[in-house]
Structure formats: structure tokens, C-alpha cells
Amino acid sequence: MPELPEVEITRLGLEPLINYRVSKVVIRNSSLRWPVNKSLQKILIGMKLINLKRRGKYILAEFPNGTLIIHLGMSGHLCIAPKDREIKKHDHVDIVFDNVGHKIVRYNDPRRFGCILWTEDNPLDHKLIKNLGPEPLTKDFDGEYLFQKLRKRSVSIKNAIMNSCIVVGVGNIYASEALFYAKIRPQRQAYKVSKYEVTNLATSIKDTIENAILKGGSSINNFFDVNGNNGYFQNEHQVYGRKDKPCILCKNPIQQITLGQRSSFYCKNCQK
């Protein structure tokens, strides 16, 4: 699943389309996680894209009369394509913009777990968004906040920081990486992690996500940006996907376990 850095990179890649108008919408398959509103083929025509924001893993494409709420799901991606680009399998939705060579924003999603929803209300009040926790890169997320949220939770620390009601966007890859930098084992119960350790963890989460955005995200499971370019943060993974490979610090083999039905990676020597 694309995580926060990959979604932010996608949002940034779409920014050149701001202030251009929609000339056409094509919906080939409306059966995503929730049905795509087929009226978008009329609603968006002639409307100018006025802003692009992100909340957690949701891209918010703002138009004068409403907002498209876009989630990439497990396998979705958005690309900017020329108007004559060949239509591929799983190319479900096109939004064509005029005055930029009729560039197309194309949504492709093999597993169809993503969504493209239209709302004329405040998108931050939408049921999918209103209960989300703070953004990890804002001042609202720090060691004190995280410690207060974790101090009574008995779940594993990794599952806790992947809870979007506590903090948004810390998916499986970046949770594993941040815990390594904070030297905390992913299976430790959250309430047993000291305030000092939690403060380090909050900092590690920020640093890991910022670095991933800078490096273009992690291009695993076929992630690429809107122009088809791969990220290269996967080349800097310290533990994720490195089962049995030597730890970069102590050379002991990286361990793999399952937590919450997700693969977790850690160094049993460096992480306590």
C-alpha cells in the first residue's frame, strides 16, 4: 500500500495542474472500494482545480464547488499521461485538463481498493477523515502527545503507531524503520515503552518520513510517481524487507515476525 510519503509525492506531482480546467472525465470502471459517482462526468466539466492538499493518505483535490477525496488503496496510483497514451488494463478513471496539452490524470488500480469520492461539504468533516489523528510532520505530533496516547495501551508499539487515530500515515514500512532508529522492538507493549524512548520514536517517525519524501518514496510493489519515476528510499531501508541480512550496525541477521497480520522487521541486538 502506498504510505504517506508516496501519497505526498503523488500530490506534489499533480501540483502543476492547479488553475487548469477540466475538459472531460472518463469513467471506465466505477467499481472501486466505493462506487465512483458517474455524475462527475458532468459535475467537473469546466471547473478549475484550485488546490491540492493531503490529509493522512487522502489527496484532496479542491474545485470551486467541491472536493475530490482520493485514496490509492492497496495498489492504486495516479499518473499524468498525454491524451494519446494507450489505455491499459485497470485504467479506471481519466480526468482531462485543458490548456496543458490536454494532459490526463489517470487512475489505475488493479485491486480496486482505492476510492475517488466527491463531496460538496468540508472534506475534513467527511466520515473517512474527521477522526484521523495528527499529521506526523506537524507540531501537533511530538513525544509528549505520543506518550500520552500510548501510556495505557497494551498493543504492540508498532501496531499502536500504525493506528491512524493516533497518528496518520505511519504505515508498515516506515513504522519498522522508525522503530529501528529509535532502538525499540516492534513487539513491545506500548505502555511499557518509556517516555524517553517514545520521545525518540516521535523524532524518528518525523525524520524517517521526511527523508522518504525527499528520496521519492519507496518503490516497492510497483510504486512510481505521476511521471513514471521510481523513488529510491527503498535503497536506504535499514530493516524492512531485509530478513536474514546483516544489520548495518551490529551485523546480526535481521529478524522477521508477524504483528497484526503484517510482516515486521527488526534487529534483536540493536532494538530492545
Neighbours of 125 (CB within 10 A): 9
Q: In this predicted structure, what is the pLDDT of residue 219?
A: 53
Q: In this predicted structure, what is the pLDDT of residue 257?
A: 97
Domain that holds residue 61: 4-125
Neighbours of 162 (CB within 10 A): 23
Q: In this predicted structure, what is the pLDDT of residue 138?
A: 97
Structural domain count, the chain: 2
Task: Decide: 93 and 106 in contact? Cβ < 8 Å.
Answer: yes
Last residue within a domain, chosen from 90, 125, 160: 125
In a domain, 137, yes or no: no
Distance CA 125, CA 127 (A): 6
What mean pLDDT, rounded, does the chain reach?
Answer: 93
**Residue numbers annotated as active site:** 2-3, 57, 262
Q: In this predicted structure, what is the pLDDT of residue 215?
A: 83
65, 108: one domain: yes
Amino acid at 70: I
| This prediction's pTM | 0.91
For residue 95, what is the domain's CATH number?
3.20.190.10
Q: In this predicted structure, what is the pLDDT of residue 103?
A: 84
Q: In this predicted structure, what is the pLDDT of residue 229?
A: 67
* 167-176 tens-digit pLDDT: 999 999 999 9
- Which residues, given as ranges, of the chain have pLDDT below 50? none
Neighbours of 261 (CB within 10 A): 6
